[in-house]
A and B are shown apart, each in its own frame.
Chain A
């Protein structure tokens, strides 16, 4: 079934996308409703279960960054960073830098079992709890990560196909067996504190 894709990306991190900000910036935000966001070059038929999306009237939006399709809901939090591009820094270094800041801020809430896996995933007890992507321009780098606070993995199962390209540690597991939420792992994230700790850490560490 055909679905309509909105090319008008209007989520809270739009300003960071469009400005190509040369200064450091970080925002933490919560999606207001259930939606599916696909990558810049994604083919919806490759990544989405369009019948279910159509039946459930779930809006689909295309973003300017790469990566696979994601389900966003109010049970998730998104962190977006922008900073000046360092041409000498490789993409894996940026993923490491940003994800380490996220992990460090979460660890301040005594959350154990966090790790960095694949190219850009953050795991909790070996299961993916956050996925990230980067949009790199000549002057700036934009990074975003989706933290699954208490989002349903069943929704991911319903709307997203298993990606053809996977990190080794996924081992062809279904979304349900591969992804988790903080809530499912018995962890409650204090988002206000997380945001403050993250911004402080960003302020001290980012050039």
Chain B
């Protein structure tokens, strides 16, 4: 189908712009988001991205010409349907492309519109050995025989209703792992809900034999008090055991002089308090960690042992350990690379408060790529934090202490020392990875303005 892309209103209230440069030519294949043209308006030179995939058929306007908003810029061949107003008939200029008929447009609509599957059409599971199935050559290195078998088995693509698929996607459930209860094993939305509810109760750690019973010595019943474990405590237990049993922990310790950070936070704290924003050291640390993670991808990775691969994540979701009346929780601030320090501060305060009130959603407690635990806000200098598995590292923040330090002139002056303790999964994070990460982190915490150069 033909699609005509028009010069959009780029939001300055202007009606025209000058074509400075074309980046594409006739016959070129382009993808959504590719810059096609450089245009200058009164104050801005801007690249204009194309909103669709396709092949360029015609370009309108020469370099140096002035074009008006809504003028046709590019005519292209695209796959699928085309909106009525974008059909070439809507363009007055003559084109050498083939005009689509109304019938063709209608046909394309029929082809691309999702069609609800009928229950009686289901005939079982579809074998799908391609897709994202990853087939290791051997099972070597896999955690156990079952995992090895699972990894080499072709992925089964479940049959399901579109509603169930969407629900699974929204809830983060792998629909291919869900047992369907519909006709011929079709996955229904009730099945997704059940899988989600089961997932919510936390990952189960396989027990090796019966748990040891702690007996109370006769006559000491009055000297003890028992309390049934809460669900959150059971989850903490499972997660801690899983982490320590799976990831070989190593921990690095450092001290960084943060007088500039202390002064900056002090200066800004009062100013932001007037706007209702509580500023602590954590937003600065989270931002610095994010910038360091962008430079050191290993620290923002996951190990997928079932497929013998490392997964490097290009998004930055930072969890922060929070003490609540019910126990430890780790809410996650998402996309910290796309948030300002002030926005991180706002998220932090909001999540911490709702964690204490037990008002967090499940979504706000998962999806982290790296965690920070700030035990220094209570007390403590160093610690050996437990990695929030399957993440591969966690940073422990100790209490900032006033200490004598030697300055650049060899003079002893008062300084502020922030102790850092970082545990990392030594299977994937080498000592050098950790040291380089911490070096960059220290540079930013020592002089926060260097974050502007990272």
Judge whether A202 and B43 touch: CB under 8 Å. Answer: no
The CA of A165 and the CA of B15, in the complex, are separated in Å by 13
Q: Are A66 and B43 in contact (CB under 8 A)?
A: yes
Number of interface residues of B (CB under 8 A): 35
B341: Cβ under 8 A from any A Cβ: yes
State in angstroms the CA–CA spacing of A133 and B46 once bound together: 11
Determine the main DSSP class of B at the interface with A. Answer: mixed
- Among A26, A66, A137, A196: residue with most chain B CB under 10 A: A66
Q: A67-B43, A120-B43, A138-B47 are in contact. Are A204 and B10 (CB under 8 A)?
A: no
Q: Mark out the residues of chain A between 58 and 87 whose CB falls within 8 Å of any chain B CB in the assembled complex.
A: 64-67, 84, 87
Contact with A along B256-272 (1 / 0, CB 8 A): 00000000100110000
Bound Cα distance A132, B43 (Å): 8
Interface pair A26/B452, CB less than 8 Å apart: yes
Q: Which residue of A lies closest to B277 (CB)?
A: A204
Docked pose: A67 CA to B49 CA in angstroms: 21
- The total number of A-B Cβ pairs within 8 Å is 100
Q: Does A41 contact B (CB under 8 A)?
A: yes
Asked if A110 is at the interface (CB within 8 A of a chain B CB), the reply is no
Render A112-133 as a binary contact track against B, CB cut-off 8 A, 1 for contact.
0000000110000000000011
Residues of A near B338 (CB, < 8 A) are 84, 207
The residues of B that contact A199 with a CB separation of less than 8 Å are: 449, 452
Complex interface bits, B332-362 against A, C-beta within 8 A gives 1, otherwise 0: 0000001111110000000000000000000
> Least Cβ distance of A37 to chain B in Å?
14
Bound complex: CA A119 to CA B11 (Å)? 11
A91/B44 contact (C-beta < 8 A), A137-B35, A138-B49 known: yes
- B418 CB → nearest A CB, Å: 18
| A residues in contact with B291, CB < 8 Å | 23
- Asked if B453 is at the interface of the complex by the 8 Å CB criterion, the answer is yes
A-B contact pairs, 21 of them (CB 8 A): A23-B453, A23-B454, A24-B452, A41-B18, A67-B43, A67-B44, A90-B10, A119-B13, A133-B43, A134-B43, A135-B44, A135-B45, A136-B44, A138-B33, A138-B49, A199-B452, A200-B449, A202-B452, A203-B341, A206-B340, A207-B339
5 tightest Cβ-Cβ pairs between the two chains A and B: A90-B11, A66-B45, A136-B46, A41-B40, A66-B40
